[in-house]
Structure 1
């Protein structure tokens, strides 16, 4: 069953997986307010939905997300009555920032199914996800520099160097060139490339691989991976990792169940 939230769709192909689709294909799913406001709200709602274990984010049609909407019909920001243009612009940027932060803070891992161009803010959306899988037709561009602006937006200069290294990130951001799917996989921007017609099925297979493990194990793994990007020291981060590991080890029977399942040659049944 498909749930409609304006220009954002939510499908539940399995009980524990939600597929969130940006659904304005005629504009390449650009970041108009009437797409981004419901996206923010949908992501927040799914994060609190305990039935959902993994989220897949993708775009309708032939593109993932083309970044800023340049059509002049960007929809309307909520709650802007009485504000001047400068303050409205600040609120608009805050809205987009909230989406990036929400993706990283969601209880569930988020898989970006990049089905075509991921340009500017679209690249940023993909980078905020935990796993990125590209269709063969996908490509990536840090488009701010192409538009006479900075290439840095929505955390791009933070996330991209951490994903592919500072030198590669600088070259891509400063030249504004396209990175095709093959190169994206080679430099670690995406985990793999699949044929276009296999993209969603491939991401759902990864989701199934994740959901067979325990909920606290998966949630804490996501949290420590995100926190590692901000860790002030290796030793401090090891302490945080160790605390999470002990939490699950001492307060659940998951470890004992995993050992027993391997001995009995069956799938484990984690009850957390």
Structure 2
């Protein structure tokens, strides 16, 4: 059986690519389990400093495979197993210790939107279309990412409009709504995202991973608790990282 998720690592950047381009990369419960397994394996690699998640062809992920029987719309569908990677966090990508960039190269619909929401950063190509049509199908979101992460990203009012309407939004609208960080021409999407990932990968892995955990934990912590947790880590430092290359820019010549 051909794997639905392709994994590769280049120069400290891990790439997870959903791979059914002819059908716009739809998911089933079995395919979600493959995503979770691939993410778990990538999480365990010390040589991976940043992860980029994308889809093959002209789509990020078109959502549930409604042509099959293994979807949330069937009465006998099992819950997705292994939905949490063995690390802090509630969802597959938030649980990864490395920062994750969603490279949205086309439709990110339903589960595709929820997967992108789990990433720390979202970069969209100009042809991206983003939304969640669950309400049009008489259903609700099934991972919780859209009802917990989405309002924290765009605000409760915008999140309500996205979920209640079931509409698809183009890339520029998604940028105005703060659904994505950047919109770039499709032809430049891969290069732009890889350059951003390389910029992050050049920094201290410990600092970046610790900051990711602090950012996520702060979403549900009090300000006092967030400051305390940061205080507990601030003096740990990264014994394997040499910041001299960056510090040199600030030294007098």
* TM-score, with length taken from structure 2: 0.88
Number of the residue aligned with 2:179: 189
Number of the residue aligned with 2:39: 43
Number of the residue aligned with 1:213: 203
What is the aligned counterpart of 1:109 among 84, 99, 119?
Answer: 99
**SS of match in other structure, 1:107:** coil
What is the aligned counterpart of 2:229 among 240, 262, 266?
Answer: 240
Distance 1:162 1:5, change over 3 A: farther
- For residues 259 and 211 of structure 1, the distance between their equivalents in structure 2, rounded to whole angstroms, comes to 13
Say if 1:141 and 1:177, in contact at 8 Å, map to a contact too: yes
Number of the residue aligned with 1:92: 79
What is the aligned counterpart of 1:173 among 163, 188, 202?
Answer: 163
How far off is 1:40 after superposition? 1.2
How far off is 1:253 after superposition? 8.4
What is the aligned counterpart of 1:67 among 63, 67, 71?
Answer: 63
Larger helix share, 1 or 2: 1
- For residues 247 and 118 of structure 1, the distance between their equivalents in structure 2, rounded to whole angstroms, comes to 39
RMSD: 2.6
Gaps of 5+ in 1: 76-84, 267-272
Distance 1:265 1:102, change over 3 A: farther
* TM-score, with length taken from structure 1: 0.82
Say if 1:66 and 1:119, in contact at 8 Å, map to a contact too: yes
- For residues 151 and 254 of structure 1, the distance between their equivalents in structure 2, rounded to whole angstroms, comes to 41
What is the aligned counterpart of 1:29 among 25, 40, 58?
Answer: 25
1:177-229: CA deviation from partner (whole Å, max 9, x where unpaired): 11211011112110010111111111111111101111110111111111111
Distance 1:265 1:211, change over 3 A: farther
Where in structure 2 are the equivalents of 1:84-163 lying within 5 Å? 89=77, 91-95=78-82, 97-98=83-84, 101-151=91-141, 153-163=143-153
Asked which structure has the greater CA Rg, the reply is 1
Say if 1:151 and 1:174, in contact at 8 Å, map to a contact too: no
Gaps of 5+ in 2: none
Say if 2:51 and 2:101, in contact at 8 Å, map to a contact too: yes
Distance 1:154 1:253, change over 3 A: closer
